[in-house]
Amino acid sequence: MQYNPNKSYGYPVQRQSLSEFDKENADYKDTSFDPSFNESKSFDNKDEMQIEIQMFGLIQEIKDAIGKAQANISVIVQCRDTFFSQKQTIEHKDATTNLYQDIMYINANNLYGEVTIRAVVLATKDFILKSEKINAEFGYKEFKVTKDMLLAESPTYISYVHKEPENSPQSIVSLHTTPKFKDGEYDISLENDYIQINISEKLNAKMAPLKNTKEGRELSFNVIFVPAITYALTQLEAHPEYLEYKWAQSLTNALNDLKKTIDVRDEPHNQAQALFRNTILNVLQGEI
Amino acid sequence: MEIPILSQSTVFNLYENVENNINQYSDGFDETFFNDNYNHSLKNTDMPTNLEEMLIYDENLKEGNLDAKNSFIVYNALKGLTPYQARDGRVWTALSHKFFLKYTAQRHGGKNNKLTKEKIEQHFFTFVDGKRGFDRHNVCARLWLNGHAVNKCSNGENFEELLNILCEKADFRANIIERPGIFQIPNVLLAVLLTVKSEKHKGVEFKRELYRPWLKYIDRAGGQKIYAMMEKDELIELYNDYLTTIKAQI
């Protein structure tokens, strides 16, 4: 077993084990505590984030302890940017059910950017936990659990909360006129929450009227926004640290949502086209 | 009035032209600037039009105490501002340029109350140093965030007193607000502030040599405890034990 003095508890705690190596070395051998968190956000009517929680992979002995009210499963949601932390204990009225599920509702106005979600199982009273799956390196197959001991913890799931409409990726782009460029020259800055495209005054004068018609908007998507988003996604792939910024989180959200309904190729230029609903076809096939 | 918000392009323009506008940061922006750029606001919010006059400028106060008093004022003044909206730099840039010229010069302008280009970029915008642009630098955002963090945890305790404990030492505040981690858990922050309060009442001076290792200890021990599931009183007891351990070591 790998020992991390700041994370290890000195007794068996069930966690996620993805690889065969992890399973072999887990505190509870050949097991993986792997809950599923499906989140959806609705900003249309009520600013709400819903998290559907399903508990997969808990060993039977911990499930039994939960069924006997010796332990509880709780979900902890936290957001660094808004100083937010909320916990919810999952109801488990039916002790015979193998699958624990619940829904957590959070006011999305209290969240911004990266939101972390994780599940923990904590003892609520003292009892003996016996399991044949306890890794032999502990040297025992049962141990005394005392109140508040952590029995299982999930990996941390990360979600991003932004209210920009996900079907208009241009809302995360800001055009900015600068005298340092001439004609069709421009550059793209990714070092802020918004993708900043710096363009010449001449280009700005040509671009400005385009937003007044549908044809013009499609044209502007193709000539400036799709290339900019392609560039941004390429940079994001190479430098994941950009995920700190709102544009990267918003585009990641939008792509993840899109992938739930259609196939999206992995190349940034195809992802950018998909985000703009294949605007290239709209222009070339005269569909507008 | 509703809380103003600038367009992103206005924010970029201002940021790019700090040097050209440097006199406006000491003399004030003219009416045309506000008429041209302050055209949008946040719905369902409210704030006093005289916020600038409401702020405290007492030069006899230490910086930390001044921050605490103004955090109280700013947090209470910006009614309806959600935590989500409070991570939007356009809001803070708008508020800083309209209401915080005098305060920034006094609080961040050094002995001469002089605002250099670098100081303006730091304190009137939210771009500098990533997230610290909000948490540490922007003159207004940092005050609001103090109030927000303490309000979330205060739970019937004296809000102003806790604010003062948080803000009194800039380094103590920085360890909590700028690297939130476990401190975003309301009970953890409350337990920390109440422990400090109790020590102060006992006459213990809460020096850097004491609180730095103590906060580090709390943070490190958090890897083996689920603080988010613990009650305030349990945490206070635990943090007192940690403090006793640290005191014995220094």
C-beta atoms of B12 and A176 within 8 A: yes
- pLDDT at residue A48 is higher than 70: yes
A194: nearest CB among B8, B13, B130: B8
In the prediction, which pLDDT does A44 show?
Answer: 62
In the prediction, which pLDDT does A87 show?
Answer: 92
Region A215-223: what's the mean pLDDT?
A: 86
In the prediction, which pLDDT does A38 show?
Answer: 86
Q: Rounded CA gap, B76 and B70, in Å?
A: 10
Lookup: tokens for B11:
């924010």
Using the Cβ of B220 and the Cβ atoms of chain A, whether some distance falls under 8 Å is answered with yes
- pLDDT at residue A167 is higher than 80: no
- pLDDT at residue A4 is higher than 60: no
Q: How confident is the model at residue A84 (pLDDT cuts 50, 70, 90)?
A: very high
C-beta atoms of A112 and B89 within 8 A: no
Lookup: tokens for A178:
């600068």
Q: Closest Cα to residue A30, out of A143, A119, A136, A145?
A: A136
Q: How confident is the model at residue A210 (pLDDT cuts 50, 70, 90)?
A: confident
With a pLDDT cut of 90, the percent of chain A lying above it is: 45
Region A167-180: what's the mean pLDDT?
A: 85
Burial B171-183 (b: 16+ CB within 10 A, else e): ebbebbbbebebb
- pLDDT at residue B230 is higher than 70: yes
With a pLDDT cut of 70, the percent of chain B lying above it is: 100
Q: How confident is the model at residue A101 (pLDDT cuts 50, 70, 90)?
A: confident
The dihedral region occupied by B249, where left means phi > 0, alpha psi between -120 and 50, and beta the remainder, is alpha
DSSP states along chain A: ----TTT--SS--B----SHHHHHHSSBTT-----EEEEEEE-SSS-EEEEEEEE----HHHHHHHHTTSEEEEEEEEETTTTEEEEEEPP---TT-S-EEEEEEEEGGG--EEEEEEEEEEESS-EEEE-TTB-GGGS-SEEEE-TT-EEEEPPPEEEEE--S-TT-GGGGEEEEE-TT--TT-EEEE-SSSSEEEEE-HHHHHHHGGGGGSHHHHHHHIIIIIHHHHHHHHHHHHH-GGGGGSHHHHHHHHHHHHHHHHS---SSHHHHHHHHTTSHHHHHHTT--
Residue from A4, A43, A82, A196 whose CB has the most chain B CBs within 10 Å, to mutate: A82
- pLDDT at residue A235 is higher than 90: yes
C-beta atoms of B16 and A79 within 8 A: no
The dihedral region occupied by B155, where left means phi > 0, alpha psi between -120 and 50, and beta the remainder, is left
Residue of A nearest to B189 (CA): A83
In the prediction, which pLDDT does B172 show?
Answer: 93
CA B191, B192, B198, B201 torsion-angle sign: negative
Name chain B contacts of A113, Cβ cutoff 8 Å.
87
- pLDDT at residue A17 is higher than 70: yes
Q: Rounded CA gap, B2 and B49, in Å?
A: 9
Instruction: Give the phi and the psi of residue A170 in degrees, each rounded to 5.
Output: -65, -20
> Closest approach of chain A CAs to the CA of B17, in angstroms?
11
In the prediction, which pLDDT does A6 show?
Answer: 45
C-beta atoms of A7 and B89 within 8 A: no
In the prediction, which pLDDT does B243 show?
Answer: 93
Instruction: Give the phi and the psi of residue A54 in degrees, each rounded to 5.
Output: -130, 135
- Residue B16 identity: E
> Closest approach of chain B CAs to the CA of A99, in angstroms?
22
Residue from B84, B135, B146 whose CB has the most chain A CBs within 10 Å, to mutate: B84
DSSP state of B40: E
The dihedral region occupied by B245, where left means phi > 0, alpha psi between -120 and 50, and beta the remainder, is alpha
Give bridge partners of residue A101 from the DSSP assignment: A54
With a pLDDT cut of 70, the percent of chain A lying above it is: 90
Q: Range with the lowest mean pLDDT among A137-146, A169-178, B74-83?
A: A169-178
A85: nearest CB among B9, B82, B184: B184
Lookup: tokens for A255:
């792509």
| pTM above threshold 0.90 | no
Using the Cβ of B131 and the Cβ atoms of chain A, whether some distance falls under 8 Å is answered with yes
> Closest approach of chain A CAs to the CA of B98, in angstroms?
22
- pLDDT at residue B169 is higher than 70: yes
> Closest approach of chain A CAs to the CA of B224, in angstroms?
6
**CA distances for A219 relative to A44, A53, A251, B110, B227, angstroms:** 28, 43, 21, 51, 53
In the prediction, which pLDDT does A5 show?
Answer: 46
pLDDT digits (tens, 9 = 90+) for B21-77: 999 999 999 999 999 999 999 999 999 999 999 999 998 999 999 999 999 999 999
In the prediction, which pLDDT does A103 show?
Answer: 85
Lookup: tokens for A52:
């559907």
Q: How confident is the model at residue B110 (pLDDT cuts 50, 70, 90)?
A: confident
C-beta atoms of B229 and A85 within 8 A: no
C-beta atoms of A80 and B184 within 8 A: yes
Tell me whether 0.85 is exceeded by the ipTM.
yes
**CA distances for A143 relative to A86, A126, A148, angstroms:** 31, 11, 15
Q: Rounded CA gap, A145 and A70, in Å?
A: 10
In the prediction, which pLDDT does A287 show?
Answer: 53
Using the Cβ of B16 and the Cβ atoms of chain A, whether some distance falls under 8 Å is answered with yes
Region B218-244: what's the mean pLDDT?
A: 90
